[in-house]
A and B are shown apart, each in its own frame.
Chain A
Amino acid sequence: MSTELIRLTAAELAVKIHSREVSAVEVTRAHLDRIAAVDGQVNAFLHVAREAALANAALVDESIAAGTAPASPLAGVPLALKDVFTTMDMPTTCGSRILEGWRPPYDATVTTRLRAAGITILGKTNMDEFAMGSSTEYSAYGPTRNPWDTSRIPGGSGGGSAAALAAFEAPLAIGTDTGGSIRQPAAMTGTVGVKPTYGGVSRYGLVACASSLDQCGPCARTVLDAALLHEVIAGPDPLDSTSIDAPVPAVLEAVRRGADGDLRGLRVGVVRELGGEGYQAGVQSNFEAALRQLEKLGAEVVEVSAPHFQYGLPAYYLILPSEVSSNLARFDAMRYGLRVENGTSAEEVMAATREAGFGPEAKRRIMLGTYALSSGYYDAYYGQAQKVRTLISRDFATAFAQADVLVSPTAPTTAFPIGEKVDDPLAMYLNDLATIPTNLAGTAAMSVPSGLAAEDGLPTGLQIMAPALGEAVMYRVAAAYEAARDAEGGGALIHRVPPMEVSA
């Protein structure tokens, strides 16, 4: 029974819970049991909130038994929350030693909305320290392993959330995407990950990596589940000045429409600069297969050019570290978090704490950013990067004049072995080549599974990009493609994850 429950989608679970076919408590317990059984191998969770999760599930069951309408279509469904959102009842570490054991006195807006929707938060998921990394190896609490092959990385920074889905530890998860941290792990784990339009989901209570790039989004095993979760977390928030004061795009309706498999009249743009050289053969061939699939659904596939995307990566690695160097300055041992009493002045304590508390990638980016913002270098680095950002936005505008959505492979490769790139930052950074432009432009994009690479049998992802607030068309294409691919591939890809050894 419980092994069946964990393989259901969030939508299916919700129906069963709301019709009292199963209880929310049973569903939660099944997932908690699964976590207990497999997370030793996966390390997706940094904290499991067993009691709080069961208590929430019991409340949902009570209210359903009392005949009250569910708080949301996902009430009672369990979820894994990336450990970068503040939670009053759980620690929030951001994968960093410097915040080990920190218990925030307030909930993030996303946390609040999940709770209000009756969703059961199972715990907090592992991540690269302060969301900086593409493999989850830069977590201070050990790497997360990819359920498809536990010798490999699950992508990053949100590897914990993606791996939790692929390991059937949770049907839903929340991620954050600064340069691809939702989409790239989704591709690497055969799951669905959405980076909404910048400002589409509140960042209040999301511990900042790079403020102008960070965006929270839903992670799931199906496009429908992602859409259901999207509608729970999205929408304006007076506590976030950068949240967009506009209605949430009707993504659920778009998914239902996409399910009819008719994409006639839609133009799908293939970005010439995102593909070819540097992309693994199996990634490229799955992408081409996806294009044929989209054409079969009636979409018109056109080629578009985004000449400035090639400068996206360098621009990103100036803007991001600049903001990081400032955002991470607050971790100074004065008010919360780690404190290393090494020295007599405040400055000495700060330096000793930061030396001990930050990992290598965080330090690297703090130094890069500090340098890029220094007087005399600002114009050449930060200033130029901002100009590139504008040019990339223009490239998107031009491309979206020719196509309703743009597509590319989500990541250039499949999941690589743990340890392979951890000492080669540039190789690591190249993983985000295709996802970064969207963050720079503040537009929307998502990754849906596009098959397994022939050469290594590991999942690949199709990235679908849409204009700002164009999530509806993006979800519609994703839903249509997902249905067609699953039909052709003989069922959802996620069910081909090799079974994991279950410890008692």
Chain B
Amino acid sequence: MSAPTLVDYDEVVERFDPVLGLEVHVELSTNTKMFCGCPTDFGAEPNTQVCPTCLGLPGSLPVINHAAVGSAIRIGLALNCTIAPWGRFARKNYFYPDMPKNFQTSQYDEPIAVNGYLDLELDDGSVVRVGIERAHMEEDTGKSLHVGGATGRIHGAEYSLLDYNRAGVPLIEIVTKPITGTGARAPEVARAYVTALRDLLRALDVSDVRMDQGSLRCDANVSLMPRGSSEFGTRTETKNVNSLRSVERAVRYEMTRQAAVLLAGGTVVQETRHFDEATGTTSPGRRKETAEDYRYFPEPDLAPIAPSDEWVEQLHSTLPEMPWEHRKRVKAEWGLSDEELRDLVNAGALELIEATVAAGAPSSEARSWWVSYLAQQANTRGIALDALPIRPADVARVIELVAAGELTNKLARQVVDGVLAGEGGPDEVVEQRGLKVVSDDGALIAAVDEALAAQPDVVEKIRGGKVQAAGAIVGAVMKATKGQADAKRVRELVLQRAARE
């Protein structure tokens, strides 16, 4: 496969209008799976969270997880969708070893939520409305680990291992209507959409929304049509887009790739493509020799879902403040400018600061920690702010210790370093590193007296009313206590002790 000649992005958007369609799969963080009582925790030993039903053993039957339906309805309501009063699950039939029954139970053509929208705010503050076609419930598949190949993909692998822990985990698939008219900003819109959706789902507390762990997955459908045309071009579907940044990159890459194909007189092949994080490019998935026919039919093992109006109404009343409303409120409460707020949001610091505030810290201190010292640490390590191994509650505790005079700012940073190094919580680090401010007056008085005795000329000056001369003694005491004394208290003691003699 030769590398395609890409087209300059400006030329792409001058010649073509991109059309996007985004399909987001969200794993719900329900305690149990969609159709059985197995736990859904991520990262357990392979094949330890399985039972006859999610293994598809002969004779097993599914039972709908009521909590998952509730989550699906809440998502639908938050996306301004109409909730279907009646709907069935269907079976999507195809053979694949990671699917225990060789059919996936999915709502297919009778989704729980239809016809909604989500408003997104772009970096410059402008708002784009993305139409939501539908949100439907389905079950996740197991995971295949292909061993022995160069790419980790099935092609070329020697053998494959299967882990069914994920099989049957509740999934919601949220599908947008075609997103048109975004021009050069299409990649940014794609990222903003997934970001907004992630924030929304997080606020709803229905999913871990971790793209890196696969609890939020995005498939990006991209097509181009000549500018001014209204007839959609042939689309490709890019999978394996595992971060917000990748969403933007994948869309942008597909736009330039398709433009190159079209401008060279070729035609875009309708296919599934695979995004490569390392190169930022997409490559064709395994070409299917025959068109897949999923032979959908209504799932006879499940009764239809018919949420009552009362239940939907009750779920509606549980919707939290939406992220955009929330931001507006935070901005007012913290007295931020639009730009300051946007910086916090873009740095991924907003939720962390809020959690720190919720743990008892003043907002200004919390902001200061996350956007300066901790942001630096994340930057140095090349990881996202929320991936730092420190909890907002730890940061709040450090702030509390400083406010109580038990830590100086300098010591506080050492405590944070200790937490980041995995030495435990702030109190443990203080304890183990012996970082507590020396607040024992007895020890301080001894140090002060010693310093005064060493510099009798300064004592004279102080006694003579030159109070600022105390600085030299304070400095000596701080040096002697290795910075672990509260300078303010030291100064008080110096003045006291000097006057006394």
Q: B57 touching A336 by the CB < 8 A rule?
A: yes
Q: B293 touching A350 by the CB < 8 A rule?
A: no
Interface string of A85-112 (1 = CB under 8 A from B): 1100000101000010010111010000
Interface string of B65-107 (1 = CB under 8 A from A): 0000000000000000000000000010101110011110000
Q: Considering the complex, which residues of chain B in the window 11-64 have a beta carbon less than 8 Å from any beta carbon of chain A? A: 52, 55-64
Q: B62 touching A207 by the CB < 8 A rule?
A: no
Name the B residues within 8 Å of A203 (CB-CB): 61
Q: B300 touching A212 by the CB < 8 A rule?
A: yes
Please tell me which one of the listed residues B57, B59, B61 contacts residue A241 in the complex, with CB atoms under 8 A apart.
B61
Q: A326 touching B297 by the CB < 8 A rule?
A: yes
Q: Which B residue's beta carbon lies closest to that of A337?
A: B58
The yes or no answer to A347 lying at the interface (CB within 8 A) is: yes
Query: CA A329 – CA B58 in complex, angstroms?
Result: 11
The yes or no answer to A346 lying at the interface (CB within 8 A) is: yes
The yes or no answer to B287 lying at the interface (CB within 8 A) is: no
Please tell me which one of the listed residues B102, B295, B301 contacts residue A211 in the complex, with CB atoms under 8 A apart.
B301
The yes or no answer to B160 lying at the interface (CB within 8 A) is: yes
Q: A211 touching B300 by the CB < 8 A rule?
A: yes
Most central of B59, B102, B302 by chain A CB within 10 Å: B59
Q: A240 touching B61 by the CB < 8 A rule?
A: yes
| Interface of B (DSSP majority class) | loop
Q: Considering the complex, which residues of chain B in the window 262-306 have a beta carbon less than 8 Å from any beta carbon of chain A? A: 293, 295-297, 300-303
Name the A residues within 8 Å of B421 (CB-CB): none
Query: CA A373 – CA B297 in complex, angstroms?
Result: 7
Q: A86 touching B95 by the CB < 8 A rule?
A: no
The yes or no answer to A311 lying at the interface (CB within 8 A) is: no
The yes or no answer to B162 lying at the interface (CB within 8 A) is: yes
Query: CA A374 – CA B52 in complex, angstroms?
Result: 29
Known A-B contacts A332-B95, A346-B97, A375-B295; A207 and B300 likewise in contact (beta carbons under 8 Å): no
Known A-B contacts A94-B58, A326-B91, A329-B95; A382 and B297 likewise in contact (beta carbons under 8 Å): yes
Name the A residues within 8 Å of B62 (CB-CB): 241
Query: CA A335 – CA B52 in complex, angstroms?
Result: 11
Q: Which B residue's beta carbon lies closest to that of A205?
A: B59
Query: CA A28 – CA B174 in complex, angstroms?
Result: 59
The yes or no answer to A291 lying at the interface (CB within 8 A) is: no
Q: How many residues of B contact A (CB 8 A)?
A: 30
Query: CA A374 – CA B162 in complex, angstroms?
Result: 29
Q: B63 touching A238 by the CB < 8 A rule?
A: yes
A286 CB, min distance to chain B CBs, angstroms: 36
Give the tally of cross-chain contacts (CB within 8 A). 102
Query: CA A270 – CA B100 in complex, angstroms?
Result: 46
Q: B295 touching A325 by the CB < 8 A rule?
A: yes
Query: CA A336 – CA B58 in complex, angstroms?
Result: 10
Q: A242 touching B303 by the CB < 8 A rule?
A: yes
Q: B61 touching A346 by the CB < 8 A rule?
A: no
Q: Which A residue's beta carbon lies closest to that of B162?
A: A334
Interface string of B290-327 (1 = CB under 8 A from A): 00010111001111000000000000000000000000
Q: B293 touching A374 by the CB < 8 A rule?
A: yes
Q: A104 touching B97 by the CB < 8 A rule?
A: no
Query: CA A211 – CA B60 in complex, angstroms?
Result: 11
Q: A85 touching B59 by the CB < 8 A rule?
A: yes
Please tell me which one of the listed residues B58, B162, B295 contacts residue A207 in the complex, with CB atoms under 8 A apart.
B58
Please tell me which one of the listed residues B60, B96, B100, B296 contacts residue A204 in the complex, with CB atoms under 8 A apart.
B60
Name the B residues within 8 Å of A373 (CB-CB): 93, 295-297
Name the B residues within 8 Å of A323 (CB-CB): 297, 300
Please tell me which one of the listed residues A106, A326, A347, A350 contacts residue B103 in the complex, with CB atoms under 8 A apart.
A326
Query: CA A239 – CA B61 in complex, angstroms?
Result: 7
The yes or no answer to A436 lying at the interface (CB within 8 A) is: no
Query: CA A102 – CA B295 in complex, angstroms?
Result: 29
Name the B residues within 8 Å of A204 (CB-CB): 59-61
Q: A92 touching B58 by the CB < 8 A rule?
A: yes
B413 CB, min distance to chain A CBs, angstroms: 54
The yes or no answer to A330 lying at the interface (CB within 8 A) is: yes
The yes or no answer to A378 lying at the interface (CB within 8 A) is: yes
Query: CA A108 – CA B102 in complex, angstroms?
Result: 22
The yes or no answer to A206 lying at the interface (CB within 8 A) is: yes
A243 CB, min distance to chain B CBs, angstroms: 9
Please tell me which one of the listed residues A92, A105, A106, A329 contacts residue B101 in the complex, with CB atoms under 8 A apart.
A329
Interface residues of chain B, those whose CB is within 8 Å of chain A, are 52, 55-64, 91, 93, 95-97, 100-103, 160, 162, 293, 295-297, 300-303
Interface residues of chain A, those whose CB is within 8 Å of chain B, are 85-86, 92, 94, 99, 102, 104-106, 108, 203-208, 210-212, 238-242, 322-323, 325-326, 329-332, 334-336, 346-347, 350, 370, 373-375, 378, 382
14 more contacts with CB within 8 A, not counting A211-B300, A241-B61, are A86-B57, A92-B59, A94-B58, A105-B52, A106-B60, A205-B59, A207-B58, A208-B59, A239-B63, A241-B63, A242-B300, A326-B93, A330-B100, A373-B296
A-B contacts, 30 of them at CB < 8 A, read A92-B59, A104-B58, A105-B57, A106-B59, A108-B59, A204-B59, A207-B59, A208-B58, A211-B301, A238-B63, A240-B61, A240-B63, A241-B303, A242-B300, A322-B297, A329-B95, A330-B56, A330-B58, A332-B102, A334-B162, A335-B55, A335-B56, A335-B57, A336-B57, A346-B97, A373-B93, A373-B297, A378-B295, A378-B296, A382-B297
5 A-B pairs with least C-beta separation? A329-B102, A373-B295, A212-B300, A211-B300, A207-B58
